[in-house]
Amino acid sequence: MAESHAILVAGGSGSRFHSATPKQFQTVLGKPLVVHALERLQRSGSIARVILVLPRDGFEDAKRAIAPFVGEASRVECVPGGDSRQESMIEGLSRMEAFEGIVAVHDAARPAVPPSLVARVVEAAAAEGGAIAALPVVETLKEATAEFLVVRTVPRERLYRAQTPQCFRYDVLARAVKKAVEDGFSGTDEASLVERLPAPIRIVPGSEQNLKVTTLEDLERLLYYLARGES
């Protein structure tokens, strides 16, 4: 299978987390969340190199915070991020020379990602050109007015909750980024950029373990998943 490099996005401020410490640097089981995410990418056996995108403000402090957990031979390069998640991903991509392989983008806010899920998404992207982890929507969905009045029930068949990693051949992601920059388009994930090419994106069944830490309350669930290992 083609070589795969990862961009681990950890450049956000975590404003919804309501803590002086950004969520990606919260310590759980003795390690910052970003380190848990990094280790799980490396344990997947699918990632040859990681570009770790850290906050631009306080970049050197962030590097020092994770330095005890990142060895010299771990093939991790730290770079400062941008003003948005998309800009941070682009900063990470800019550190890669064109290659015939897969770029896996993962959020540091998903530190309990099963390594086997990373491997499956990378494998699917190698076969299809693009793949993302996602879970089917199981809740009943309602569309409402601005005044919070129900308009209708939205059919949930074929609807999915996107997760990361999101993996694409380098040339596919690079073309999608180029088009987004030229068009002034901002997406919420890499798939939303690639969809505009368009290019095929395979859905790989995700995991509830791969939760996104958004609030302090999420840490309790996260601790459970990190403590028990891969499901």
For residue 40, the domain's CATH number is 3.90.550.10
Per-residue pLDDT of the chain (231 residues; tens, 9 = 90+): 679 999 999 986 555 544 567 788 999 999 999 999 999 999 999 999 999 999 999 999 999 989 998 865 568 999 999 999 999 999 999 999 999 999 999 999 999 999 999 999 999 999 999 999 999 999 999 999 999 999 999 999 999 999 999 999 999 999 999 999 999 999 999 999 999 999 999 999 999 999 999 888 898 899 999 887 655
- Is residue 153 a part of any domain in this protein? no
Residue 9 makes CB contacts below 8 A (sequence gap 6+) with 53, 81, 85, 88, 89, 92, 105, 106, 107, 108
Distance, in Å, from the CA atom of 130 to the CA atom of 142, rounded to the nearest integer, reads: 30
pLDDT tens digits, one per residue of 147-158: 999 999 999 999
- Is residue 141 a part of any domain in this protein? no
Residue 44 has a CB neighbour count (10 Å cut-off) of 22
The pLDDT score that the predictor gives to residue 70 is 84
- Is residue 65 a part of any domain in this protein? yes
- Is residue 139 a part of any domain in this protein? no
Residue 195 has a CB neighbour count (10 Å cut-off) of 15
- Is residue 94 a part of any domain in this protein? yes
The pLDDT score that the predictor gives to residue 22 is 79
- Is residue 145 a part of any domain in this protein? no
Domain span including residue 21? 4-134+162-228
The pLDDT score that the predictor gives to residue 215 is 86
The pLDDT score that the predictor gives to residue 14 is 53
Total structural domains within the chain: 1
- Is residue 154 a part of any domain in this protein? no
The pLDDT score that the predictor gives to residue 72 is 58
The pLDDT score that the predictor gives to residue 166 is 98
Partners of 78 in the β-ladder: 52
What six digits make up the tokens of 128? 């299809």
- Is residue 88 a part of any domain in this protein? yes
Which residue's entry shows tokens 């830490």? Answer: 213
